[in-house]
Structure 1
Amino acid sequence: MIKKSFISVISHEEKEKNRGSVTFQILSLTNRIRKLSSHLELHRKDYLSQRGLRKILGKRQRMLSYLSKNNRIRYKELINQLDIRESKTR
């Protein structure tokens, strides 16, 4: 099994202080998404993990849309920092 290290962008002091912030929640969801994606590369037929991944992706997408509506500058910084694509607007 290949384990990839996930480096946290936020320092330990900021973790203790800002656990409820939207940016921290998006960061933790992104780490969980990356871990599940690497798990699913090895276990392609793990359908329960696929379902969990879809739920986490939806939750992160809702939080990203909330952040883009309220603080567009922080949203752009976070997108670039985490190296994820910008969501399509409808």
Structure 2
Amino acid sequence: MYLSPEKKEEIFAKHGKGKNDTGSAEGQIALFTYRIDHLTKHLKENHKDFNTERSLVKLVGKRRSLLNYLMKKDIMRYRAIVKELGLRK
């Protein structure tokens, strides 16, 4: 399995408020980014896997929604997470 519980805790500890804080927008955005990177690598090898492609598009949309929410709520937190993860609009 590509996403072990230890890896999840590491992501939330690094980007969230703590390893058990799974509800923060920053933690969720970081987790979505990790999953998007994994699915992108998978699709480069398996370009006809349309179910994975659909999942990838849905994840990108969820991450975009969270980023929009964070931008409206607190622009400084938005800028920090975008810079930290290397995202662009």
Shorter-chain TM-score: which interval? 0.7 to 0.9
* Aligned-pair Cα RMSD in Å: 2.2
What CA distance in whole angstroms lies between the structure 2 residues aligned with 1:31 and 1:65? 19
Is 1:28 the equivalent of 2:27?
no
Q: Number of paired residues? A: 80
Unmatched segments (≥5 aa) in structure 1: none
The equivalent of 1:10 in structure 2 is 14
8 Å CA contact 1:15, 1:24 repeated in 2: no
Q: Percent identity?
A: 34
Question: Which of the two has greater helix per residue?
Answer: 2
CA deviation after TM superposition for structure 1 residue 70, in Å: 0.4
Aligned partners of 1:26, 1:33: CA distance in 2, in Å? 10
Displacement of 1:54: 0.2
Normalising by structure 1, report the TM-score.
Answer: 0.80
The higher-RCO structure (CA 8 Å, 6+ apart) is 1
Unpaired runs of at least 5, structure 2? none
Shift of 1:26: 0.5
Amino acid at match of 1:30: T
